[in-house]
Amino acid sequence: MAAKLAEQCDVGEFSIWQKIFLGLQHTMAMFGATILVPIITGLNVSATLFAVGLGTLIFHFFTSAKVPGFLGSSFAFIAPLVLVAESSELTLQHAQAGIIGAGLVYLIVGFIVQLAGPDNVAKIFPPVVTGPIIMVIGLALAPVALDWASSNWTVALVTLAFTIAMAVFGTGFRRVIPILLGLICGYSAAVIADVVVFKEIGEAAWLGFPGFTLPLFSWEVVLIVTPAAIVSIVEHTGDILAIGDTIGRDVLRDPGLAPTFYGGGVGTIISGLLGGPSLTTYGENIGVLAITGVYSTFIVSLGAVWAIVLSFIPKVEALIESIPDSVIGGVSILLYGMIAAVGVRTMVSNRVDLKEARNLIIASVILVIGVGLDKIMVLDRVEMSGMVIAAVIGILLHQLLPEDIC
């Protein structure tokens, strides 16, 4: 199974229609989490879909199509956005200025990373640090997947079982679209179980313009929203390293970490101008890469185009939104697990010796804090996830612990 899942596919063997469905699979994988941010915060869903699609294309431009990442809504900004939305004097249009500020922070960090060079970046993120961080990215999301699945375990397990069956035993084109097929099977099971609500699908229009809004400036909001970029920067770095390890390419050198920040920064600035969220690379899509072995950036770009198209079709948007949590949870169990497995592979392939006390200490601390700690609040406004805290502590331990610990 592992060998088959790790096998890279030649995208040239697929027809244009097959490539379109491969792209749709990436859109479906990120859809649930991406629209959850505007649902919680009050941002417009269609504007968000347009922004993540356009932002992903911009990201691919800046990275010379060498990093097949998909940008989605950043969860790091939920708390400050909700804080602004609940204010009697401020609006989410004011929050857009903070999102633009976050994009500027990404650009500054990208410039600093570029000055530092790939060798210094690699010293900060060696395999003993990146492996556990990548594992935490997947494992920390496990409770989310299980929570979604728990809404109807029967539907979730049917979805998971069918997805695994397609990934392992599927032949031809079916083998590389297990997530899409799993969602279709799960949705069918949910319909039979009578847990799908069709009302909003019937009421939605076939065509509609995304609900773009212009930003309003407020220094207060900038100071509330923009600092959340610190969280996204660490998460972004971990995801980029995970993508590199998944596709077997040293992305720290080619195209480099800096272009990924430039792409994410420009994409976030434009998203803020349109009324969308701050953007970040998505673990769900890393899982799709790991499961299918299709590493083509063109395919991911097609997924971005799908997101843009869907932002103009409320009917289809409502159909996808009607997919029950249990179905999303079923495929997410596999997606998030694959991310954690990539972290294990990173340590194994780089021959990280866990018999050495130093390596064992670094890995252990990252895993326990990253998985066990939910989040902490900084200055009562910025949420720092356990993954971010674990990554920072892991980096510090690597720099501070002597090499000759017995």
Chain position carrying tokens 């031809």: 172
Residue among 265, 343, 260, 292 nearest 174 (CA): 292
What are the DSSP calls for 95-157, one per residue? Answer: HHHHHHHHHHHHHHHHHHHHHHHHHHHHHHS-HHHHHHHHHHHHHTTHHHHHHHHTT-HHHHH
Comparing C-alpha atoms, which of 23, 20, 21, 40 is closest to residue 32?
A: 40
pLDDT in tens, 196-238: 888 888 887 888 888 899 888 888 778 778 877 877 787 788 7
pLDDT in tens, the chain (406 residues): 333 444 556 666 788 888 998 999 899 888 777 877 887 677 888 899 999 999 999 999 999 999 999 998 887 787 678 777 777 677 888 889 989 999 999 999 999 989 988 788 778 878 888 888 888 878 887 888 898 899 999 999 999 999 999 888 887 777 778 888 888 899 999 999 988 888 888 887 888 888 899 888 888 778 778 877 877 787 788 788 889 888 888 888 889 889 999 999 999 999 999 999 999 888 788 888 888 888 999 999 999 999 999 999 888 778 877 888 899 889 888 888 887 887 888 888 788 888 889 999 999 999 999 888 876 665 555 556 677 788 889 889 998 988 766 5
Chain segment 253-292, per-residue pLDDT in tens: 889 889 999 999 999 999 999 999 999 888 788 888 888 8
CA distance 143 to 140: 7
pLDDT at 5: 45
- Supply the pLDDT for residue 270: 96
pLDDT of residue 384: 63
The pLDDT value recorded for residue 116 is 87
Residue 147 CA neighbour count, 13 Å, CB half: 5
pLDDT tens digits, 126-157: 888 888 888 887 888 788 889 889 999 999 99
> What is the pLDDT at residue 385?
67
pLDDT value of position 229: 81
Q: Which two tokens stand for residue 5?
A: 């899942």
What dihedral do alpha carbons 233, 239, 245, 251 form, nearest 10°?
-50
**Given this model, what pLDDT does residue 3 score?**
39
Answer for the pair 326, 148: CB distance below 8 angstroms, yes or no: yes
In sequence order, what E strands does 278-324 have? 279-281
Q: Which of 52, 25, 282 is nearest to 178 (CA)?
A: 25
Cα separation, 179 vs 184, in Å, equals 9
**What does the angle CA 23 – CA 27 – CA 29 come to, to the nearest 5 degrees?**
115
Structure tokens at 183: 């969602």
CA gap 404, 406 in Å, rounded? 6
Which pLDDT belongs to residue 377?
60
